Amino acid sequence: MAAVTIQQDGGKAKPKLSFWQLWNMNFGFFGIQFGWGLQLANMSSIYAQLKANPDEIPILWLAGPMTGLLIQPLIGSMSDRTWTKFGRRRPYFLVGSILASIGLFLMPDSQVLWMAATLLWVLDASINVSMEPFRAFVADKLDISQRTAGFAMQSFFIGLGQTFANLLPFIFSKMGVIGTTESGISLTTKYAFQLGAIIFLISVLYTCFTTNEYPPEDMEAFKKEKEDNKGIVGYFRELIGSVGSIPKTMKQLAVVQMFTWLGLFCMWIFFGLMTSYHIFGATSADSPEFRAGGEWNGVNFATYSVVCFLVAFMIPVIAKKTSRKFVHTVALICGGIGLISVLFITNQYVLLLSMVGVGIAWASILSMPYAILSGALPPNKMGVYMGIFNFFIVIPEILASLFLGKIVQSIFGEGSIEAPMYVVAAGGVSLLIAAFCVRFVDDNNG
């Protein structure tokens, strides 16, 4: 296929990429999301099997949002100012994938709660090093007309990676794997994490070696800006300056993101526990019903991941015929209804229907905000602004980690097995609020 050149954001013309070029540049997200998917579906169960109470678990999830808050803008700023023979963003993909794979491999061998919590900090920091530059990578490589398709391709691989990651413990169980490690962690979980470590590294390497990067358009200006902002002082000067000049569209999207990710965090922390206690009737984390519920939660999360990658390629088409705001609003409403529906479901198979709505929302959450945002950002600040945009994901998660456990304990009492169901439903309400806030976002390019 012949390359078609298009004028890019007032800069030099860039080639319009083919389907397979879009595929190659986003394939690394399959591995990254494999790692995230294993963590999101299994960490609460791992903590519970290491004797954590339900109301203690939110604070143990603090690693993810805190490392995102600290790492993503730092890596974004550093990658903006990086140019090597291996490119701008790819060195960060590579280093992060190696460290994350080590963390994934070691996690299920945790002997005590503090060890698992420490490894989660290492794992999350490493995944953030890989993931943040991928957002800027898409914006670097694509003209505005292809960005919706580019971020939709990311959604496809995220959904695909999560699907396989979430199903692995269940598949291992059906293959006859039984038993636990010495510390009580299911062997199905152990083997899933260790296979995931290998897949993570291979997937990121594939993108690193099949996709090139464009050098800075004005190398002299790039070198001057790098010199002016070098070192930790330069980083904070750039970060503060960028925060002070956040585009209007980002501010509007920030409100949507805050409510969106608060709802998602409620789901990720408590959906597995809700499945074990409410659907499977477990009475403690040591019971066979609890382990069966944890394995079925992998099927739950795989369901929304399957829906995500099936819907991903429909999103650009629907957005073109309507608008990106319309697509995102409808998708968030579907997700909110899906989470609220757990209040009325008692059957494990019917529970999968709630995940259909979540999958539709997830496909849009992973693409529409970034497609809308990228058109409002200066190209030379893409990395740092994508990192700052992550603030509005991690801040609600940090608040949830710090205070959600205390709120749950004050309402339901210590160690309540009923609390997870109501927290999941509250997450659905948060997604509905986010859907309402989309109407106030300016999207001049879509």
Q: What is the mean pLDDT of the chain?
A: 84
SS3 376: coil
Query: Residue 180 has which token pair?
Result: 């636990």
* Per-residue pLDDT tens over the stretch 388-421: 888 888 888 888 878 877 788 788 777 778 888 9
Give the span between the Cα atoms of 35 and 166, in whole angstroms.
10
Helix, strand, or coil here: 110?
coil
pLDDT: which is higher, 335 or 420: 335
Judged against a pLDDT cut of 50, whether residue 7 lies above it is answered with no
Q: Flag whether pLDDT at 3 surpasses 70.
A: no
Q: Give me the pLDDT at residue 417, please.
A: 82
CATH placement of domain 24-211+233-440: 1.20.1250.20
* pLDDT of 375 over the 90 cut: no
Element (H, E) at 60: helix 57-60
Greater pLDDT, 255 or 301: 255
Structure tokens at 395: 């801040």
Tell me if 445 sits within 8 A of 375, measured CB to CB: yes
Cβ contacts of residue 342 below 8 Å, gap of 6+? 271, 274, 278, 351, 354, 421, 424, 425, 428
pLDDT > 70 in the chain, percent? 93
Q: What percentage of the chain carries pLDDT values higher than 90?
A: 27
CB 393 within 8 A of CB 308: no
Rounded Cα–Cα distance for residues 100 and 105 (Å): 9
- Could you tell me which residues are beta bridge partners of residue 15? 5
pLDDT digits (tens, 9 = 90+) for 206-254: 998 898 888 877 677 777 766 666 666 666 777 777 777 888 999 999 9
pLDDT single digits (tens) 270-315: 898 899 998 998 888 778 888 888 888 888 888 888 898 888 888 8
